[in-house]
Structure 1
């Protein structure tokens, strides 16, 4: 270590600023604060450092050996001190709110006001408190924001809010929405998970490329159907969502006719049922020429889901990877069995399909018929991996394996493996 004393060379203080910033990036803020004793030139390095990360590690260090009331007071005092002693811009601010009493949210409001005047570009607020934190209006008027991540908050945009003009990534988790119109012209990535009041949120993001809507209390796709640049979609509905607002549903053909550039799709069975309102065509009017990967989960093989799956497979001419995660309750209804056994099903062709994986396979009749159909109609198929449910008895597993191996295959290169999920994990 070089020091000012004794005429020793102070090499560390001559490092370029970007190198110093990188060093501080790798340190917990408590250790970063201790760098002030390295030399006189480092005394105010943290006070000028543009990235402040007050994460769980930071709050855990404060909470050690403190009672809840003392911790609340000390935590707020320390954060206040860090911010008030900081001068210059704060480009990145990460805070994980510990279990603060709701009366302390007034102090959090002041931190947000302070940040709004510091040119913040990246803001992450994870709330671990029992109560939701209401995002103050100051956050909406941070003109330089390019990244915003919020959890367990109440979000209602001010009426005077014109939009986030520079925001490119928005992550929202466990948010309760009030009536909000978010105009985000540069947004590329949007993630909304486990949120309520979705019908009150109106997002305008014409350049969106990646969209995740996972287990929210409702689904509103009309705001995203105009996203012509979308390449990635992860869409899953919470239990019961598919029964709401049936007159406003967007059909399978309408949705994929707009998302023609989609290359990676992750859908759950509830979302497929949502899209199946009305008649599901055997093939989409517009082929999905860009779709390379299709992952489906929570699949029970009811008639709606099965019709949607076959429609997507027949419409995806360049699909390379297809994966299904089965639900524990597979539908064995007469309707879906008759549908899969119709002779016309064997006239379908799933061109381009190379890899198929089925997880939590239970050996039900719909699953068997579906696999038979895939093998018979996929001329480019190279690998089929079937991973059975761990509860499946050994004699039943052997019976199913023998039946699968006898099925005709359109592709002479198709290889099939049949194994237990436990066997794979070990």
Structure 2
């Protein structure tokens, strides 16, 4: 950290230097230049690239350092510093000119490149394409391209020739590889946000983490990722799990459907048994209520044919406790023999759904067993009958249970909270250690 402040001091001195201070400036430069190269790189990691570029214009030593520095970050801070006190037309010209100058003065590999693309005139996007062409010859391993403009940016074909990529993150882009694209052989992390897909075959044999958020055209995407361990599919316009059913190393999933997704955009229905029969290596699962309904195809068993022996944490959100969701939840809880933490976020509940109430009140439900479960957190608890009966089941069937945290919805009145708390406290418990803790949601930790 001391080196960072020292470097900032040198830049300020150099930017305001006069002929009378040349000798002093040289001494101050040497104090940094004599540092080990890895320390200099750490300093540059913390200095805005525009400040470093200014210093390089005034010092031949720092010009060489920056020209060889393998991490370039043209982030939002960079574009904001250029946009200050400039008209949009001036910003477009100056932004492109400054990036061009920094790239053209660079020699050697660029291992990490970050570009937060600002609002540019469409004519200027050809310059961005040329930057990608330049980078394709630089051995880039980590590429972040976040598009902050109002229009999506079409990824040029050059990006798909980055053979050394291990990390790729893009947002608000059009992803359409050329037909000759054979995949990213070394990629292990891929994050795509608000990306529109054309016909895309993505062969990523080393991929470990895949995140698709709010993407469209997902039905055009065909992924082969046999080493995948973490998968996030969040509110994309289409749900197709076939590509991921064969991922035998999958340990983490986060799956959520957008509101109002049409049945024909959910792909072929996969049952609860089929999915978790393939994903029996999961340790963490985060599922939304819409996805649970998608899984409720046919008869839902009390237990899965293959138990989830590795699952340690299960979080369910947007839960309304309809019959499909309730049956899926109880099936997952009984099939996860080593589950330790269970968290549920309640969206809305029909208080008098007779089918759900009858299902939860069946005498056989009280004889079920939920093994291993130690901690339960219920958020946005509204005090409805299905919620109360569900807690009753958890208490009666969980012999290892230690704590249930109930975070009450802020709309729940005080007298209702007291009444419900008294009712819950009277329920029998399979675990002598089980405790219930009540807390208003607005004062609870998030």
TM range (shorter): over 0.9
1:128-179 Cα shifts (integer Å, max 9, x gaps): 1111000111101111000000000000111100110000000000001101
Q: Is the 8 A contact 1:206 1:228 kept in 2?
A: yes
Q: Determine if the alignment matches structure 1 residue 367 to structure 2 residue 390.
A: no
**Contact 2:240 / 2:266 at 8 angstroms: preserved in 1?**
no
After the TM superposition, which parts of structure 1 deviate over 6 Å for at least 4 consecutive aligned residues?
1-4
**Structure 1 residue aligned with 2:346:** 326
1:186 to 194, 206, 210: 206
Task: Report matched runs for 1:22-421 at 5 Å.
Answer: 22-36=42-56, 40-241=60-261, 243-244=263-264, 248-330=268-350, 332-421=352-441
Kindly state the Cα deviation for residue 247 of structure 1 after the two structures are TM-superposed: 7.3
Any idea what SS the aligned residue of 2:235 has?
Answer: strand
Normalised to the residue count of structure 1, the TM-score between the two structures is 0.96
Superposed displacement of residue 4, structure 1: 8.9
Determine the structure 2 residue equivalent to 1:18: 38
1:331 positional shift: 6.1
Once residues 188 and 241 of structure 1 are traced to their aligned partners in structure 2, the CA distance between those partners, rounded to angstroms, is: 28
TM-score, scaled to structure 2 = 0.92
- Secondary structure (helix, strand or coil) at the match of 1:248 reads coil
Distance 1:37 1:175, change over 3 A: closer
Alpha-carbon distance between aligned partners in 1 of 2:277 and 2:134, rounded to the nearest angstrom: 46
**In 2: Cα distance, 1:306 partner to 1:239 partner:** 19
Deviation at residue 85 of structure 1 after TM alignment: 1.4
Number of aligned residue pairs: 426
Cα offset for 1:257? 1.1
Cα 1:84/1:293, change in 2 over 3 Å: same
Contact between 1:242 and 1:273, CA under 8 Å: does it hold in 2? Answer: no
Deviates more, 1:68-77 or 1:202-211: 68-77
> What do the CA deviations read for 1:304-345 (whole angstroms, capped 9, x no partner)?
111110000000000000000110344642111111111111
After TM superposition, give the deviation of residue 424 of structure 1 in Å: 2.7
Q: Matches of 1:245 and 1:99 in 2, distance apart?
A: 32
Gapped regions of structure 2 (runs ≥ 5):
1-5, 11-20
**Whole-Å separation in 2 of the counterparts to 1:8 and 1:315:** 69
Question: Which string of whole-angstrom CA distances, capped at 9 and with x for unpartnered residues, describes residues 343-364 of structure 1?
Answer: 1111110000000000000001
CA contact (8 A) 1:321 1:354 kept: yes
Please tell me whether the aligned partners of residues 219 and 241 of structure 1 are also in contact (alpha carbons under 8 angstroms). Answer: no
Separation (CA, whole Å) in 2 of partners of 1:330 and 1:29: 55
Q: Tell me the alpha carbon deviations over residues 365-394 of structure 1, each in whole angstroms, 9 at most, x when there is no partner.
A: 110110000000000000000011001111
Following the alignment from structure 1 to structure 2, what is the Cα–Cα distance between the partners of residues 424 and 184?
A: 42
- Preserved CA contact (<8 Å) 1:132 1:152: yes
Pick closer, same or farther for the CA change 1:29–1:108 going to 2, 3 Å: same
What root-mean-square deviation, in Å, do the aligned CA atoms of Structure 1 and Structure 2 show? Answer: 1.9
**Is the CA contact 1:186–1:205 (under 8 Å) kept in the aligned structure 2?**
yes
1:244 CA drift (Å): 2.5
**Conserved? CA contact 1:155–1:177, under 8 Å:** yes
2:366 aligns to what SS in structure 1? helix
**1:254 and 1:27, CA in 2 relative to 1: closer, same or farther beyond 3 A?**
same
Aligned residues of 1:4 and 1:40 also touching (Cα < 8 A):
no
